[in-house]
Amino acid sequence: MARRGRRRLIVPGAEAQMSAFKADVMRREGYAVNSNRPDDVKYEVAKSLGIPLEPGFNGDLTTESAGKIGGQIGGAMVKELIRMAQQKLVDQNQP
């Protein structure tokens, strides 16, 4: 069964901060990100991967292609979150 709708964040009201985080991470990855529309970075990622993603209907897009786009974005965000957590642990153990 297909999943409908967006995933909800655990912390209500964190959407703006998560969008800003996504924009910041993807900017550091070298993508052009519009701060007002950080979700549009998926089109930049798709273009760099040679995947024909367009605004609107993309019913001909394979699951594999969609996963490559989302994986590129999500993977970069997870790596940054892990880096931040590791840095926090290091900082806590400093005398």
Q: Which residues contact 38 (CB under 8 A, 6 or more apart)?
A: 19, 20, 22, 23, 26
The band of 15, judged by pLDDT with boundaries at 50, 70 and 90, is: confident
Render pLDDT for 51-88 as a digit per residue (tens, 0 to 9): 999 888 988 999 999 999 999 999 999 999 999 999 99
